[in-house]
Structure 1
Amino acid sequence: MSLRGWMLFAAMSIIWGIPYLLIKIAVEGVSVPVLVLARTAVGALVLIPLALNRAAWAPVLAHWKPVAAFAFFEIIAAWLLLSDAERHLSSSLTGLLIAAAPIVAALLERLTGGEHRLTPTRMAGLAVGLGGVALLAGPELAGGSAWPVTEVLLVALCYAIAPLIAARFLADVPTLPMTAACLGLAALIYAGPAAATWPAAVPSARVLVALAMLAVICTALAFIVFFALIREVGAARALVFTYVNPAVALAAGVIVLDEALTVGKVAGLALILAGSVLATRRTDGPAATPDPAASR
């Protein structure tokens, strides 16, 4: 891989590894609808001018139903649940639980008629990965955080469904205008709830910086860098960075927010990543890579 490829890879590992930290900070000062509106509206405003080619929008309009379904699972529902859950859970735990999305995707792909059968290796991966989820979620469930943990697991489910929709119904739709359309649709949906829960006072500088970074870096810039990475190294190799994101989320929470680094978190991360590698293998050869949705 070229130096440019490695730089883009490193950038994506960080950019989609830190949203959990920033969400945890942002929910201290704004409502969940305001947070989601900030991310989607700014992201749409940045991406739409980059996709002004009218011909590129024709496939988006022609496939508006699956585009809307993709937007619902990838952004509208997922970011609401994720942000609400982080009002109660640590950012590091949230990032680790979301890492289970590729495992859920592998199971859903097979259950919905996918062509890849559940080999013994993939079944072992599912078991190992789900064991990691149980290790992480168990103490929280016992400690009274059942609904926030459920919300995060529902986000992982959303992030598993979205790529199935994209692969089966949106393969011919250009990614940049589709992403801009999804963000724009989400912004329209959250405009009303955000206005109804707008903060009475200006949030702290810490919260405003987190919102700005979420919107500009982790949403708008993230997609631009991601598309550049795909052009540089190809789609399959580009998605390898999703295995790094959970570790970045864990480190960010521990270093910046002084969240606890426990043996259980490290062990859970190891099990989920090992399970993801095994569960997403297409053959007995090199492991396939997960969808980037699991990192956002």
Structure 2
Amino acid sequence: MTKVDWGRFALLGFLWGTPYLFLKIAVEEIPTAAIVFFRVLVGAIVLIPIALRGKNLAIARKYWPFVFLYAITELIGPWYLITHAEQKLTSGLTGLLVATVPIWSAVLASIFGDHTVWHKSRLFGLIIGFIGVVAVVGIESLSGRQDLVSILMVLLAAIGYAYAINMINRRIPEVPGIAINTWAMIITMIVYLPFVFLNMPTEVPSLEAVGSVLALGVFCTAVAFILFFKLVAEVGPPRASFVTYLNTAVAVLLGVVILGEPITLGIALGLPLVLIGSYFASRKVNR
């Protein structure tokens, strides 16, 4: 990769490592539905002009069922689950659990017919990764420090992310990513709009909470997606996906440094196992 690619890679890793920090701040004062709504609203406002300028907003009618399915499994479901779960989970643990996406992607790829998943190196990754997940879930939930239901919600969100990626790559790889994500944000915004009016905050949120939601929309959503599209175009999806390992470390580090979250035994044991497992599980091998 060029120096520019490495710069994008580092910036993207940082941007996708910060949502868990901002969510942790926002959920203290703003309802879950409102956070998701305003996050996609801000993201769509930024992305729509860029997509229009590049003439990348139009999508053929035959692709729309997959766009709706992507919106459900990538944004509507996961962003609610993760945001709601952060009411009871630390931001670092949430970021660690989301890092299991490559593991779930490998499992789903196998279900969809990619038998290279059972190559010895990828199988090793799956086994190590699952050991890490079990260690995190078991230690954190049994210790009473973290809520088991919230942990399972984040893991379900990670599975949704993995399915969305697999589905898009198999079904509509020819549709520009910026078009898919822009429309997915618009769809998500429409779905959450009624719930925003039904669950208005009882008090005016602080500037810190409002700023966190704006940062989620502008930097962690719109800018991050734009960087990711450019990185994929330059280095390809497999190498671009390695950003997962960087943003997980950023999420844990920010939680410790800024929020004062502890590095628990579950995180200390699970973090290296999940990252090693994700790396080997997501490796490409010859068929």
Interval of TM-score (by shorter of Structure 1 and Structure 2): over 0.9
Q: Could you tell me which amino acid in structure 2 is paired with residue 273 of structure 1?
A: L
Q: Could you tell me which amino acid in structure 1 is paired with residue 249 of structure 2?
A: A
Partner residue, 1:174: 176
Q: Could you tell me which amino acid in structure 1 is paired with residue 63 of structure 2?
A: H
Partner residue, 1:262: 264
Q: 1:218 to 1:117 in 2, by over 3 A?
A: closer
Partner residue, 1:205: 207
| Counterpart Cα distance in 2 of 1:110 and 1:263 | 32
Q: 1:250 to 1:203 in 2, by over 3 A?
A: same
Q: What's the Cα RMSD here? A: 1.9
Residues 140, 266 of structure 2: 8 Å contact kept: no
Deviation (angstroms), 1:104 = 1.1
Encode CA deviations 1:45-101: one digit per residue, 9 max, x unaligned. Answer: 111111126963443543000110011000000000000100000000111111111
Encode CA deviations 1:194-234: one digit per residue, 9 max, x unaligned. Answer: 11111132201211111111011101111122222234434
Partner residue, 2:152: 150
Within 5 Å, which residues of 2 pair with 1:84-123? 84-123=84-123
| Counterpart Cα distance in 2 of 1:284 and 1:64 | 33
Task: Show structure 1 runs of 5+ residues with no match.
Answer: 286-296
Residues 103, 129 of structure 2: 8 Å contact kept: yes
Q: Could you tell me which amino acid in structure 2 is paired with residue 80 of structure 1?
A: Y
Q: 1:232 to 1:54 in 2, by over 3 A?
A: closer
Partner residue, 1:52: 52
Q: Could you tell me which amino acid in structure 2 is paired with residue 8 of structure 1?
A: R
Partner residue, 1:290: none
Encode CA deviations 1:238-287: one digit per residue, 9 max, x unaligned. Answer: 222122111111001001100002343122110011111221222279xx
Give the stretch that moved more between structures: 128-137 or 142-151: 142-151
| Counterpart Cα distance in 1 of 2:285 and 2:116 | 9
Residues 60, 177 of structure 1: 8 Å contact kept: no
Deviation (angstroms), 1:134 = 1.1
Equivalent residue of 1:30, what SS? Answer: coil
Q: 1:60 to 1:273 in 2, by over 3 A?
A: farther
Deviation (angstroms), 1:139 = 2.6
Partner residue, 1:82: 82
Q: Could you tell me which amino acid in structure 2 is paired with residue 216 of structure 1?
A: V
| Counterpart Cα distance in 1 of 2:54 and 2:138 | 50
1:38 aligns with 2:38: yes
Residues 60, 67 of structure 1: 8 Å contact kept: no
| Counterpart Cα distance in 2 of 1:243 and 1:28 | 28
Residues 98, 156 of structure 1: 8 Å contact kept: yes
| Counterpart Cα distance in 2 of 1:278 and 1:123 | 8
Q: Could you tell me which amino acid in structure 1 is paired with residue 191 of structure 2?
A: I
Within 5 Å, which residues of 2 pair with 1:247-286? 247-283=249-285
TM-score normalised by length of structure 1:
0.91
Q: Could you tell me which amino acid in structure 2 is paired with residue 207 of structure 1?
A: A
Q: Could you tell me which amino acid in structure 1 is paired with residue 178 of structure 2?
A: L
After the TM superposition, which segments of 4 or more aligned residues of structure 1 sit over 6 Å from their partners? none
Q: 1:51 to 1:61 in 2, by over 3 A?
A: farther
Among the aligned pairs, what percent are the same residue? 38
Partner residue, 1:293: none
| Counterpart Cα distance in 1 of 2:124 and 2:8 | 32
Q: 1:117 to 1:97 in 2, by over 3 A?
A: closer
Give the stretch that moved more between structures: 95-104 or 115-124: 115-124
Partner residue, 1:20: 20
Deviation (angstroms), 1:117 = 4.2
Give the stretch that moved more between structures: 226-235 or 141-150: 226-235
